[in-house]
A = this chain, B = another copy of it.
Amino acid sequence: MLKVPDHQVAGHQARNGQLGPLIDDSGRFYKPLQDDDRGSKEVAFYSSFSSNTRVPDHIRRLFPVFHGTQLLEASDGSGLRPHLVLEDVVSSRSHPSVMDIKIGSRTWYPEASEDYIQRCFKKDRETSSLSLGFRISGLQVYGNEESGFWKPERKLVQNLSAADVRVVLKKFVSSNLPVDPNSDPDCSFAASVYGGSTGILAQLLELKAWFEDQTMYHLNSCSVLLVYEKEKVLKGERSDAEVKLIDFAHVTEGKDIIDHNFLGGLCSLIKFISEILTSPDECTTKACLRDSEKDKEILTSPDESTTKVCLQDSDKNTNYSENGTIEGM
């Protein structure tokens, strides 16, 4: 019996008669192929990657397992449609905290159509991709049985400042409720989720080392998914924190050049996560101070009640000049 995934945080969703991915009870994720060439490109990537003997095992496990394609009834009622059959990366978890981060300051690529290039160019500038080298495409953070998930809207998280991203990455690994605007994220799970020899940082560093060398694929517009189960950490069990790369509809051949765009963005994300691990004292930063310039608010609706959560670091009062140039440093 196929159903709509509970823990999808970004991308097209199969709700309300829309076309989107489905899952089953055996841990498989069915992603419908889109009509344009994106679907066939993603199949081509998975086919190439899954049979590529030059991909080392410790890198392969950072990608969902590929089980081919299958004709299935599409979620929008349009009839049979080919679907990618993939590993459902959250199937073994009951309350996964998930973050989808689209990597790269540039989501377009030379081989794309001029129309696509211009649309991406505009969006990369409007979101945090250009400045940070990545943008958060979606997230859910589990609070507890009562509060459920904190799941801010996509358009509210994809253009966060560096300070805001830092707060979100802290909230992602904190024991206090992410929806509470007055509580400081305590980062109490940072060491077990981000840190350690098998934690998220270690996995991202393995990925980085591979991207410094591999010239086979350019993962344009691809995301890394960060996943872990809060309850496991609370029980003192070994963290099951995982990094998975997803969304390969825009992959191109590397042509003997490394994917410097993905690598640069990945290094930027690594720097943010490293700082949380190396500067735990900064985790006592007050998490909610109104950003006076932009008057930004992040509205979320957990359990249908609307909660305001402002994302602003308070201890970063650096004064930058309007145009970002160096003035009297």
**B interface footprint on A217-261 (CB within 8 Å = 1, 0 otherwise):** 100000000000000000000000000000000011101111011
Cβ of B111 and Cβ of A324 under 8 Å apart?
Answer: yes
CA separation between A213 and B217, bound complex, in Å?
26
CB distance from A221 to the nearest CB of B (A): 13
Please name all residues of chain B whose beta carbon is closer than 8 Å to the beta carbon of A256 when the two chains form the complex: 162-163, 316, 318
| Extra A-B contacts (10), CB below 8 Å, given A162-B256, A253-B320, A253-B321 | A48-B326, A110-B131, A110-B324, A111-B323, A252-B323, A255-B320, A256-B318, A257-B271, A261-B264, A264-B264
Q: In the bound complex, how far is the Cα of B186 from the Cα of A313, in angstroms?
A: 56
- Produce 1/0 per residue, A95-116, CB < 8 A to B: 0000000000110011100000
Chain B minimum-CB-distance residue to A313? B256
Contact check, B257 vs A267: say whether CB atoms are below 8 A apart: no
Q: If the complex has contacts A267-B212, A326-B48, A326-B252, are A257 and B41 also in contact, measured as CB distance less than 8 A?
A: no
Let me know if A125 is at the binding interface, CB within 8 A.
Answer: yes
Give the residues in chain B near A130, CB-CB below 8 Å: 110
A-B contact pairs, 19 of them (CB 8 A): A41-B326, A44-B326, A44-B329, A48-B326, A52-B329, A111-B324, A133-B257, A162-B256, A213-B271, A252-B326, A253-B324, A253-B329, A255-B320, A258-B268, A260-B267, A263-B267, A264-B264, A264-B265, A264-B267
B110 x A251 contact (CB < 8 A): no
Which residue on chain B has the smallest CB distance to residue A320? B253
Which residues of chain B have C-beta atoms less than 8 A from A253's C-beta? 320-321, 324-326, 329
Q: Which residues of B contact A66 (CB under 8 A)?
A: none
**The one of B52, B133, B257, B316 that contacts A132, using a Cβ cutoff of 8 Å:** B257
Contact A212 B271, CB 8 Å, known A110-B131, A131-B257, A257-B132: yes
